[in-house]
Amino acid sequence: MTITLPANLERSLTEKSARLNLAVGLFSSEELTLGQAAELTGLPQGEFMEELARRKIPLHYGLEELEDDLKTLGLPKAR
């Protein structure tokens, strides 16, 4: 996929910042998971989570994710 940007925006963005902004937007709209968004940026998940925190963007972590994590750890369900 190729995206054409206005010339002034293209000059001001690096590939790294464009990837980061795209990943943050797609994560915020729940179109990418945390892992997918971090992969798009090329950052480890922890660093991507720190960037989300700096931007005050909450993680999508609900009861289902908690239960999956508890199951992985061999702990009883939260309900």
Cα–Cα distance between 12 and 20 in angstroms, integer? 14
Which residue carries 């997918």 as its tokens? Answer: 36
Per-residue pLDDT of 10-43, as tens digits, reads: 899 999 999 999 999 999 999 998 889 999 999 9
Going from the C-alpha of 12 to that of each of 32, 47, 69, the distances in angstroms are 25, 23, 41
Enter the pTM of the model: 0.75
- Give the pLDDT of residue 33: 86
Which residue carries 């199951």 as its tokens? Answer: 71
What is the domain partition of the chain in residue ranges?
14-73
- Cβ–Cβ < 8 Å for 38, 45: yes
